[in-house]
Amino acid sequence: LVVVGLIINLCLGAVYSWSVFVNPLTDYFSQNLGQTVTANEVLLPYSVILAVFAITMALTGKYVETHGPRKITIVGCILTGLGWLFASRVSSLTMLSVMFGVIGGIGIGIAYGATVAVAARWFPDRRGLAVGLTVFGVGFSAFITANLAGFFIAAYGVMNTFRIFGIGSILFTVPLALPLTFPPPGWKPAGW
């Protein structure tokens, strides 16, 4: 379950590769849409997604308890993927901030919190290690996804890269969420 959470968070953490998107997005808005935007302005969707992700994670913990981690993670993973997919169709930075930042941020906040809760419940005797390994995926993600993003942007363009990340996110994370459950009431690790 920790490895599953790590891989899901590796996909969710693709948001941290945003710096690779900045120049291609600046060029796309300027050259394809005739909108003058700066690199600083293109950072707005990234700021929005981080803020929404943090707020959502804090607000949705109770739903993990009532609906279970599997359902909540699946919803979060689908929303994250939809955020990427919807971002591929935008025609303004405002819409990019809404589609990627708000929808994607809600998805990340929901799924991230659920994977952490699963790790903490199954490993109360090694909670720090289990949670640390689960969230390792988010931190390590940029190392992998930034390189993937750079490759896809060069090969297919920035908006198609959003589509690839969206489809890939859903295809990888939703099946991985299926085994996520909490231990039965009263469960304890052997010898603890």
Q: What is the pLDDT of residues 39-59, one digit of tens each?
A: 889 999 999 999 999 999 989
Tell me which residue of 116, 58, 110, 118 sits closest to 83, measured CA to CA. 110
pLDDT class of 28 with cuts at 50, 70, 90: very high
- Report the amino acid identity of residue 152: F
Average pLDDT over residues 117-146: 90
Cα separation, 189 vs 192, in Å, equals: 6
Mean pLDDT of the residues in the chain? 93
- Report the amino acid identity of residue 188: K
Q: Tens of pLDDT along 101-122?
A: 999 999 999 999 999 999 999 9
pLDDT in the model for residue 138: 86
- 112 close to 15: Cβ distance less than 8 angstroms: no
- 158 close to 146: Cβ distance less than 8 angstroms: no
Average pLDDT over residues 145-166: 96
Average pLDDT over residues 19-28: 94
pLDDT in the model for residue 192: 73
pLDDT in the model for residue 14: 93
pTM greater than 0.85:
yes
pLDDT class of 62 with cuts at 50, 70, 90: confident
